[in-house]
Every structure is written in C-alpha cells, then in structure tokens.
C-alpha cells in the first residue's frame, strides 16, 4: 500500500553548467539558463510504501512525516537560491531531475519502522514533473 504527502516550497535556481559554453547552456536549458536566476513554486509528493499497523491503522505517523519533510526538505529548500544555498547544487545543476534525487537522498534514510520511501515526485511547473524511485 502506498500513501503520499504533498508539500510545497518556493526557490530560485540557475540551470547552467560551468562545463558548457554559453551557447550550449542556452540551447539545453533555454530561458532557465539566465545567470541571474529565476524561481518556481515547487510541489513535492512523497510516497511511502508499507502495510498499516494493526493497532493504529497507519503505515506511518503522518505528523512525524510532516516534521521530517519540514526538517529535511522545506527548511533546506524553501526561499533559497538552490545553486548557492543547497548542497549538492554547488556541484551539479539544480534541474528538477537532480532536485528529486536530492530530496530522495535526504528523506529515504529517515523513514523508519515498517515503511519505506517509494517515490519522490517534484512538479516544477504545471507542465513539468519528475518522479524518482531510487536505484533498484
């Protein structure tokens, strides 16, 4: 059984690789390569897989999940310039793909008990989203 929780954060980013030329960056990332950055209202859906506890009827304590997402994701990401303020985006480009993987890496080790992280879906805009389910 899979249960999911949705949270939102707002952040700015610059999609630009120092290993690519200006022309290449603009070709790959389009307007998102603007060196002064731009922002999005990101929506993150975190899905947890497990069986309901026979006593509580819950896969995991949703209050605890909320706290976990606040501490591990929102406190880190909300109202930040990702390239400057959130590791590992000083080294890798903060595309929506890399954001989903980074959120997975922050959350997965902290899901305890009977449950495990099933997927992280990040919506950058209404038109673009990414889902990451970890490595098999």
53 binds other proteins (CB under 8 A): no
Q: How far is the CB of 81 from other proteins (least distance, A)?
A: 16
Contact 134, 117 (CB under 8 A): yes
From candidates 11, 82, 101, 111, binder to other proteins by CB under 8 A = 101
90 binds other proteins (CB under 8 A): no
Q: How far is the CB of 119 from other proteins (least distance, A)?
A: 9
Of the two residues 39 and 112, which places its CB atom closer to other proteins in the complex? 39
| Residue of 30, 32, 31 whose CA lies nearest to 13 | 32
Contact 133, 74 (CB under 8 A): no
47 binds other proteins (CB under 8 A): no
Q: Phi/psi of residue 86, each to 5°?
A: -125, 110
Three-state SS string over 4-35 comes to EEEEEEEEEECCCCCCCCHHHHHHHHHHHHCC
Name the residues that contact other proteins, by CB under 8 A. Answer: 15, 17, 19-20, 27-28, 30, 92-98, 100-101, 126-133, 135
């Amino acid at each position: 059984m899979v249960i999911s929780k949705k949270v939102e954060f707002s952040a700015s980013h610059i999609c630009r690789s120092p290993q690519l030329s200006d022309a290449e960056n603009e070709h790959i990332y389009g307007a998102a390569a603007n060196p002064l950055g731009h922002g999005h209202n990101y929506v993150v859906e975190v899905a947890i897989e497990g069986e309901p506890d026979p006593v509580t009827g819950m896969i995991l304590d949703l209050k605890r999940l909320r706290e976990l997402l606040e501490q591990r994701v929102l406190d880190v990401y909300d109202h930040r310039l990702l390239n400057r303020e959130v590791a590992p985006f000083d080294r890798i480009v903060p595309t929506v793909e890399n954001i989903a993987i980074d959120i997975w890496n922050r959350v997965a080790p902290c899901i305890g008990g009977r449950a495990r992280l099933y997927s992280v879906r990040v919506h950058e805009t209404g038109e673009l989203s990414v889902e990451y389910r970890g490595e098999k």
